[in-house]
Amino acid sequence: MKNQVKEYISFLKNYRIHFIAWFFFIFYEIVISGFIRGSFASFGNYVLFYVLNVGLFYFHAHVIMPASRPNTKRSLWLLPMLIILEVAFYVSLTIFLADFFQNGGRVSLAAFNNIAIGNGVWRTIYFILFSTGYYYLMNYLKERKIAQESEKQRLLVIIENYNAKEELIKSQHAHLKAQINPHFLFNTLSFIYSHARKTAPEAAEAIMTLSEIMRYAIQADDESNFTSIMLEIEQVENLIKLHQIKAEHNFNILFKYNPKELADIQIIPLVLVTLVENMFKHGDLVLEHLPAIISINLTQQVLIIETQNLINMNATPTSHHIGLDNIKKRLQIVYGQKAFLKTSKGKNNYFNVMLSIDLN
């Protein structure tokens, strides 16, 4: 019951303008016209014929007009024909009902006289004209609403494009800033290198090596998903050189690879560098009879990278294996099932890492 009341109230709110307009129109016709003519019809007569008039109004606007398809060639003959049929039916119906109620249920053909037909035709055309105006007004308002929505969507697209352009400018600006910051750092390192070269040549060499490693890391992050493995090997050699300087050349490392075999091989960057850095971080590399080994081999387009190093039992256990986990995730994304990384603890307390990448 409550839902029905809510629906009824909602209906009244949605069509309140219609109710108000019909109220004033009917008030004018009944009260004012009645006083002018000096006579009034019965209440039942008013109810019957205004229900028919209102029905004619909405029937013409919502059925006849859409069916005739205005603004088409078909409407040139269809609309007049439908209006003629509409007038004929409505005039006949109103005369029949008027005579039926006035004569207590009897209808006489005399009721269909020229005056009654003329008044009926006039009254019908009167409401049809108002209904036609209402139809075009509703269409105009509907089309205007559609145009407004379209314009609103167009403006939203413009705003989104503008915001996207703003974001692009900000991103480009941030990218330029990101380029400026490393550029400033490299200039600073170059300045330090030039001043340390004469007084501390080994420190100057360490600075230059560090600069080359950082430059490679930044370029590898910005430019491509793949890099030449020979460039990666070059950075590993720089990394070894840097750590050797730090350890006063006490590290024992064997680096095995065939440059000709690997000349055309491309891999994702910083994989080999990360494996070697992990070896330096957790390995004991000072024993001459137990050297760390880095080997790279290519067999039937399967790249095998292996590192072996003695575990440093004196190192603080702070590792969370982030570097190796990061490599595994990157390999999975790029190579899927064609790559796997295996770690194991072997003889003499050696830590072994084997990376296999199927390049086929």
**How far is CA 250 from each of CA 244, 287, 327, rounded to the nearest angstrom?**
7, 9, 29
pLDDT at 71 over 50: yes
pLDDT at 224 over 60: no
Q: What is the pLDDT of residue 188?
A: 62
CA distance 25 to 32: 10
Q: What is the pLDDT of residue 26?
A: 83
Tell me the pLDDT band of 291, cut-offs 50, 70 and 90.
Answer: very high
Tell me the pLDDT band of 169, cut-offs 50, 70 and 90.
Answer: low
Q: What is the pLDDT of residue 197?
A: 72
pLDDT at 200 over 80: no
pTM: 0.48
Pick the CATH number of 245-358 from 3.30.70.20, 3.30.1490.20, 3.30.565.10, 3.20.20.60: 3.30.565.10
pLDDT at 106 over 90: no
Six-digit token pair at 98?
């008027």
pLDDT at 177 over 60: no
Q: What is the pLDDT of residue 180?
A: 45
Q: Which stretch, 48-52, 111-115, 161-165, 208-212, has highest mean pLDDT?
A: 48-52
> What percent of the chain shows pLDDT beyond 70?
85
- Beta carbons of 56 and 91 less than 8 angstroms apart: no
Query: Across residues 2-7, what is the average pLDDT?
Result: 74
pLDDT at 241 over 90: no
56 alpha-carbon distance from chain centroid: 49
Higher pLDDT, 62 or 42: 62
Six-digit token pair at 217?
């890391």
Angle at which helices 201-223 and 114-199 cross, to 10°: 160
pLDDT at 184 over 70: no
Residue with tokens 């303008």: 17
pLDDT at 319 over 70: no
pLDDT at 355 over 90: yes
Query: Across residues 340-346, what is the average pLDDT?
Result: 90
Q: What is the pLDDT of residue 124?
A: 87
Higher pLDDT, 106 or 228: 228
Domain boundaries, the chain: 2-159, 245-358
Tell me the pLDDT band of 172, cut-offs 50, 70 and 90.
Answer: low
Query: Across residues 227-255, what is the average pLDDT?
Result: 89
SS (H, E, C) the chain: CHHHHHHHHHHHHHCHHHHHHHHHHHHHHHHHHHHHHCCCCCHHHHHHHHHHHHHHHHHHHHHHHHHHCCCCCCHHHHHHHHHHHHHHHHHHHHHHHHHHHHCCCCCCHHHCCHHHHHHHHHHHHHHHHHHHHHHHHHHHHHHHHHHHHHHHHHHHHHHHHHHHHHHHHHHHHHHHHHHHHHHHHHHHHHHHHHHHHHHCHHHHHHHHHHHHHHHHHHHHHHHCCCEEHHHHHHHHHHHHHHHHHHCCCCCCEEEECCHHHHCCCEECCCHHHHHHHHHHHHEECCCCCCCEEEEEEEECCEEEEEEEEEECCCCCCCCCCHHHHHHHHHHHHHHHHHEEEEEEECHHHEEEEEEEEECC
pLDDT at 68 over 60: yes
Give the CB-side neighbour count of residue 341, counting CA atoms within 13 A: 19
Q: What is the pLDDT of residue 223?
A: 46
Q: What is the pLDDT of residue 214?
A: 75
Over the stretch 12-61, which tens digit does the pLDDT of each residue have? Answer: 787 888 888 888 888 887 887 677 767 777 777 778 888 888 888 888 88
